[in-house]
Amino acid sequence: MPEVVLIGAGNVGTHLGRRLHDCGIAVRQVFSRRISKAERLARQIEAQAIDQWHELYTEAALYILAVSDDAIAEVGRNIQAQLPAEAFVVHTSGATPSTALQGFRRYGVFYLLQTFSREKAVDFSAIPVCVSANQPKDELILEKLGQKISDRVFIINDHERAVLHIAAVFANNFVNHCFQISHQILEREQLPFELLQPLIQETARKITAQTPADMQTGPAVRGDVATIRRHLDYLEATNSPYRELYRQLSKSIRPSLKIED
Ligand SMILES: NC(=O)c1ccc[n+]([C@@H]2O[C@H](COP(=O)([O-])OP(=O)(O)OC[C@H]3O[C@@H](n4cnc5c(N)ncnc54)[C@H](OP(=O)(O)O)[C@@H]3O)[C@@H](O)[C@H]2O)c1
């Protein structure tokens, strides 16, 4: 695979850049609006750090935009002015249609279905890489690139990716927010969050073998209304902003619950 240019040195840019380099794919340049950020990543992956669009290398086989969703179209316009008409440009967003880059003749998406925080290592070989491109031969290029960095590569269209992203928001973002709520509740009583770690790990492990519906436990699925009311009373007494969320989630688990007196 010839050279790649990486635009964005945030969470995804950093992990993807390191993985490409580790798998023998040359990253020619790293762009960030802050040169120090570009340099930090570029040093690790033997790339050139740049912070000006006019410095872009114009002969890369692929330009990967690992930038915020809202910046994709703007960055696309900025680089289009610099690149030849046949440049191949992809973004890494789950939520953004590929057509955000339709100003290019060759465009697509290289979406890594995982949660990335810059300094937290991930097992890349297990990450589903979801690719699509507006031309079949480019889809093949992305598929091959994906196979170099992961064992799990899928061709996923815009609609499918958008739906995957909604599901991922529930499975990761909202679940993580619930961890944060648990953390706050325990902190108030000076109890350590680490007491919940085995429970959290087991919750994730269990659903690799069974459906989430089969694995649901707790007062809502059992219909233990007295317990639910005690929990709601505690949340009210402590002025918790999460009382209503608790009630709604319980009803979502078991709609027939009669919680209110
Ligand atoms: N994090 C995840 O778990 C995850 C997972 C899958 C996909 N994604 C997708 O990957 C993309 C990047 O996410 P991220 O988590 O890596 O975000 P991030 O850590 O916030 O990094 C975003 C990058 O976008 C750049 N940027 C923002 N506005 C820009 C602009 N107007 N012009 C040029 N650069 C701009 C920032 O550059 P500066 O350094 O110059 O500010 C930064 O490098 C997003 O589309 C996201 O949806 C994220």
Q: Measured from the CA of 70, which atom of ligand 1 is nearest?
A: 28
Question: pLDDT confidence of 1, banded at 50, 70, 90?
Answer: low
CA distance 168 to 175: 10
Mean pLDDT of the chain: 96
pTM (two decimals): 0.92
Report phi then psi at 100, rounded to 5: -60, -20
Question: pLDDT confidence of 246, banded at 50, 70, 90?
Answer: very high
Report helix angle 11-22 to 136-149, nearest 10. Answer: 80
For the segment 108-118, what is each residue's pLDDT rounded down to a tens digit?
999 999 999 87
Tokens of 27: 């990253």
For the segment 52-84, what is each residue's pLDDT rounded down to a tens digit?
999 999 999 999 999 999 999 999 999 999 999
Amino acid 224 reads D
The answer to whether the CB of 10 falls within 8 A of the CB of 116 is no
Helix (H), strand (E) at residue 154: strand 153-155
Identify the pLDDT of residue 111.
Answer: 98
The answer to whether the CB of 134 falls within 8 A of the CB of 101 is no
Q: Measured from the CA of 93, which atom of ligand 1 is nearest?
A: 45
- Tell me which residues have their CB closer than 6 angstroms to ligand 1: 8-13, 32-34, 37, 66-69, 71, 74-75, 92-95, 112, 115-116
Distance in Å, CA 92 to ligand 1 centroid: 9
* pLDDT at residue 261 greater than cutoff 70: no
Maximum C-alpha span of the chain:
69
Map residue 116 onto helix, strand or coil.
coil
Report phi then psi at 256, rounded to 5: -80, -5
Distance in Å, CA 77 to ligand 1 centroid: 16
* pLDDT at residue 221 greater than cutoff 60: yes
Identify the pLDDT of residue 118.
Answer: 78
Distance in Å, CA 66 to ligand 1 centroid: 5
For the segment 198-208, what is each residue's pLDDT rounded down to a tens digit?
999 999 999 99
Report phi then psi at 64, rounded to 5: -105, 120
CA distance 158 to 109: 9
Rounded (10°) CA dihedral 19, 21, 25, 31 = 100
Sign of CA dihedral 7, 10, 14, 16: negative
CA distance 129 to 159: 16
HSE, CB side, 13 Å, CA atoms: give it for residue 200. 13
* pLDDT at residue 212 greater than cutoff 70: yes
Q: Measured from the CA of 65, which atom of ligand 1 is nearest?
A: 11
